[in-house]
Amino acid sequence: MKAALARNPILLLTAAALLFYPVVFTDAFYRDIGVTFLLAAISASAWNIVGGYAGQVSVGHAMFFGIGAYAPLLVYTVTGWPPMAGIPVGVILGCALALAIGKPSFRLTGHYFSMATIAVAELIRIFFGTWAFVGAAIGLQGPAVGRGWWDLTFRSEVPYYYIFLAVLVVLLALTWTLERRRFGYYLRATKAGERAARSLGVPVRSTKMQALVLSATFTSIAGSLYSIKTGFIDPESGFGILVSVQMVIIAALGGAGTLFGPFIGALVLIPLQTATNTWFGGGGTGLTYILYGGIIVLIARYEPGGVLDLWTRLTSRGGRDHAS
């Protein structure tokens, strides 16, 4: 990946921009947008492993995000330990949930699989909303004031920004490596056609299961980072349908099944979402639905390959025109 960065000046400039963003933009508002963007990029990149590369469009990934979000604050509430001690707990529970739902749901394909994931996520949301042990509809809170650095409770957004950036870099590096391994070819073959992949000896069922577990791992980590930063979680912010829909739209907008597609999608959607919420009054849920719906229509009608595919076509066309 270092070689790729050195060969591509755009990647190098993007890496430099990400590194120095909090230094250039010192206002808390812009730093918060940066943190939100990185969290959205992590979530969508995690979804991209199973939804983009393997073609299994899960619209219930909020179940993994919510499990990961509840685990740190539940560990803090029950034991008094630092919330970050709950991150591995969230990962283990997220993987266990992925194995539990993957086995029956991967018997379904296409829209039926998507509908099954929505149903499971909604059932978990309703269950958490009535379970007193996890705060029911009120939710859970983290430490109001940090007892030490280990509570990861900072006044400034800068520490969160660099923590989130480090997680995103690890996830992209892992995805980049998987793309070039046999597992990456298995994922693409599964997406292109399961029957044809099986005829070529691809273990389709186990490939999809591994992709789901890996995707659930990083989605639960994203949930943990979210709850540790905000210090609060409730069923709607953890398991709400908008959490799942945002992951799908960001990946599709940038280019599902590509390494940097979710990153580009987050780069477009998060500032746009923040701007519309600011211009038209707060975080109106209805406005968010309208924004997401409009983006789905535009992607489906004009650019099913996303912004990255459009950029590739334009640059290759420009190169041909220049050569002629």
pLDDT given at position 322: 58
Instruction: Give the 3-state secondary structure percentages of the chain, helix then strand then coil, rounded to 5.
Output: 80, 0, 20
Q: Tokens for 239, please give them.
A: 């398991």
Task: Tell me the sheet residues that pair with 232.
Answer: 141
Residue carrying the six token digits 């590096």: 173
For 4, other C-beta atoms within 10 Å of its C-beta total 11
**Is the predicted pLDDT of residue 286 greater than 80, yes or no?**
no
pLDDT given at position 285: 56
Q: What's the whole-number average pLDDT of the chain?
A: 89
**Is the predicted pLDDT of residue 288 greater than 90, yes or no?**
no
pLDDT given at position 147: 83
pLDDT tens per residue across span 100-116 = 999 899 988 888 999 99
**Is the predicted pLDDT of residue 187 greater than 80, yes or no?**
yes
Q: How far does Cα 321 stand from its chain's mean position?
A: 37
Question: Taking phi first (over 0 means left), then psi (-120 to 50 degrees means alpha), and beta for anything else, what does residue 146 get?
Answer: beta
**Is the predicted pLDDT of residue 283 greater than 70, yes or no?**
no
Q: What single string gives the DSSP state of each residue in 183-251?
A: HHHHHHHHHH-HHHHHHTT--HHHHHHHHHHHHHHHHHHHHHHHHHHHSEE-HHHHH-HHHHHHHHHHH
Of the candidates 30, 323, 8, 312, the residue with the CA atom closest to the CA atom of residue 158: 30
pLDDT given at position 8: 76
Q: What percent of the chain has pLDDT over 70?
A: 92
Residue scoring higher pLDDT (285 or 195) = 195
Confidence bin at 319 (pLDDT 50/70/90): low
CA distance linking residue 37 with residue 161, whole number of Å: 10
Supply φ then ψ for residue 106, to 5 degrees: -75, -5
pLDDT given at position 277: 74
DSSP 140: E
pLDDT given at position 148: 83
Cβ(238)–Cβ(60) under 8 Å?
no
Confidence bin at 47 (pLDDT 50/70/90): very high
CA distance linking residue 212 with residue 91, whole number of Å: 13
Confidence bin at 58 (pLDDT 50/70/90): very high
**Is the predicted pLDDT of residue 287 greater than 80, yes or no?**
no
pLDDT given at position 318: 64
Cβ(63)–Cβ(122) under 8 Å?
no
Average pLDDT over residues 200-229: 96
> Which region among 122-126, 153-157, 214-218 has the lowest average model confidence (pLDDT)?
153-157
Supply φ then ψ for residue 141, to 5 degrees: -125, 150
**Is the predicted pLDDT of residue 284 greater than 60, yes or no?**
no
SS3 label, residue 283: coil
Task: Tell me the sheet residues that pair with 140.
Answer: 233
Q: Tokens for 297, please give them.
A: 């229509």
Average pLDDT over residues 26-52: 95
pLDDT tens per residue across span 65-98 = 999 999 999 999 999 999 999 999 999 999 999 9
For 317, other C-beta atoms within 10 Å of its C-beta total 10
Surface-to-core class of residue 19, CB atoms within 10 Å of its CB (0-12 exposed, 13-18 middle, 19+ buried): exposed
**Is the predicted pLDDT of residue 119 greater than 60, yes or no?**
yes
Q: Tokens for 63, please give them.
A: 């179940």
